[in-house]
Amino acid sequence: MIYFSRVRYVTEDKHRSLDTTKRIVVKVGSSSIAYSTGKLNLFQMENLVRQLADQHNKGRDVLLVSSGAIGAGVGRLGLTRRPKTIPGKQAAAAVGQGLLMHIYEKFFSEYGVTTGQVLLTREDFSDRRRFLNARNALHALLQFGVIPVINENDTVAVDEIKLGENDTLSALVAGLVDAELLILLSDVKGLYTADPRQDPEASLIREIREITPQIESLAGGAGSGLGTGGMATKLSAARIAAHSGVTTVLACADEKDIIARVISGEQVGTVFWPAGNKLENRKQWIAYSSAVCGNIFVDQGAATAMIEQGKSLLPSGITGVEGLFEMGATVRIVGPDNREIARGITSYSSVEVERIKGVQTGEICRILGYKDYDEVVHRNNMVLEL
């Protein structure tokens, strides 16, 4: 994991205005739209749809990332808990996804809003061409006045191509469509200084400007029996969104008119402000979407040159290679303390890097018989620790 920043947080109220927001992504978790039995909570779903339709009618672009497909399938199949096997989860998703979408379509149509289903996997983000295709498709839906209802494609996804949970998916989608606001609706009111169920003096953190291990330590374990995401995944999503220039608000789905209240600037939930150094779209993809294929280890001199001077990675600073990858693959760049310091697209394969590691640029042609690039990873194709 690349840690991009250090953090401050405040617990006192401070005015925040988000009413100029033009494009929002709203993520709702399984526990917010389904009962513990797995049956869908129609009252909560209709309430959510009404709020989203209202924002849509105000002229805002709205995208909904909704969990609940597997949970709905669990309920329809009469199971008492989520299946543990991948085929079982895929079967539950196949049954539940149609049910979930049918109910969303019914509720949205009552408000005169058209919806479109979009199912994604990590491969749709990690492959640059598919990434751009997904971006273009979502932009087209928004131009047609459609509210996309997005979920991970659990019917076909296996561990190798899964995002893991919809908190991450919603943050990636927010960056994909250049959204300004991401609202994570859950069964908690926000991030607290301690677990409020165990510490009566725990206070709600109103805003966070940077995320650090200290803040991450406040996150608990996994979510409910129907969901997969806990507070840690929400913090990870907020970090991804922050470096895409997106404001994130974590709030409770049960609170009345919560979406309108968040946008109006009311002090509800926890707001994570975007980083000042927003990554350009290509570097967002390198940092968070592309599949990492291996590691390149560097010495202290190379680490310092990249971090402090913004230099490209040259072969002279490389001490080792791990994994098999081709030219154009995304790799982690690991410093002498075994900490990831950057991520980038390599100009040479792992076999070539192994042969030229530690040598000067002028020696590349002699060793390989050719030299396509001076740099193993060019700074324009690299995301550094910021």
**Structure confidence by residue, pLDDT tens digits, 280-333:** 778 888 888 888 999 999 999 999 999 999 899 999 999 999 999 999 999 999
* Residue with more model confidence, 223 or 327: 327
DSSP 8-state class, residue 10: E
* Element (DSSP H or E) covering residue 366: helix 364-368
User: Residue 32: exposed, middle, or buried by beta-carbon count in 10 A (0-12, 13-18, 19+)?
Assistant: buried
Confidence of residue 187 (pLDDT cuts 50, 70, 90): confident
pLDDT at position 259 is 96
Strands (E), 39-120: 61-66, 115-120
Does the pLDDT value for residue 241 go beyond 70?
A: yes
Q: Are 128 and 285 in contact (CB under 8 A)?
A: yes
Angle between helices 231-242 and 166-176 in degrees, nearest 10: 10
* Single-letter residue type at 220: G
- pLDDT of 97-118, one tens digit each? 889 999 999 999 999 999 999 9
User: Residue 307: exposed, middle, or buried by beta-carbon count in 10 A (0-12, 13-18, 19+)?
Assistant: middle
Confidence of residue 162 (pLDDT cuts 50, 70, 90): low
* % of the chain beyond a pLDDT of 90: 52
Q: What whole-number distance in Å separates Cα of residue 170 and Cα of residue 183?
A: 9
Q: Are 70 and 82 in contact (CB under 8 A)?
A: yes
Domains recognised in the chain with CATH numbers: 9-279 (3.40.1160.10), 291-384 (2.30.130.10)
* Residue with more model confidence, 46 or 8: 46
